[in-house]
Chain A
């Protein structure tokens, strides 16, 4: 019995088995992480589409920092809420996950944002890439800690 247990342990912990196991675990973890982040993105899009901009703002941590083009800076709960509720006539928002990585508690997302607003009766779309740093709260929810977007072409 002990020998069998020992053989099993040694097999599991030999380098090739360990590497293969770690590799498949890492792959599964990456897939699951991407799925989790994409699910949060869907929540942000849904809040935006129904005009719940405070709901969008709540996806950011209270001490998050947003860095837009040309020195645009937004930091902390009050500024983040003001920033998002200041967006006029929201129509829809699409967030693509181009690259997601990190751990179970901290992740990065390189994405593309296509945000549509109504302006003078016409739809206006702003497209920009972004990098977001996500942190998982003790309750398990992901919240944005850092959001940078370099803006679209002038």
Chain B
């Protein structure tokens, strides 16, 4: 193809995607498809639904890449935010159809269902370690919210806590998580 997209930053690839460059979209998929599918599986616990979430998210990347520069974010943050949002939308839609609620326990998928290279195992461990260091109630709010797809009101109800408490646990938890991850140098270790 004559161009070496592998050496471009995520942000540079996104600006090519904004110009309808499908090879740049393919390269972004190669970089983030695995993380995207991993988190979608964790949220949806269903391969077909997880694939739908990833597909919709990457098509949203394709359609709206030109909006990205207006966001004050790294490209990886933006892409993973889109993936998470699609997965959460799907899980809520599914939930409303089911008689039995999905099991809420935010257990990670069994190791054999996850195919990881060393770097990705390392990233995963750092994030899990940072989560482990949060006060348990903050960790719980983040896990049930982010991996469980619960809204703040569902969480308040499930935990029997006032809404204000849930909001402040989410705020403190995310703020602290960000500091812990920065200390661990995770930002540098994630290719972006």
Pairing of A with B:
no
Q: Which residues of A contact B (CB under 8 A)?
A: none
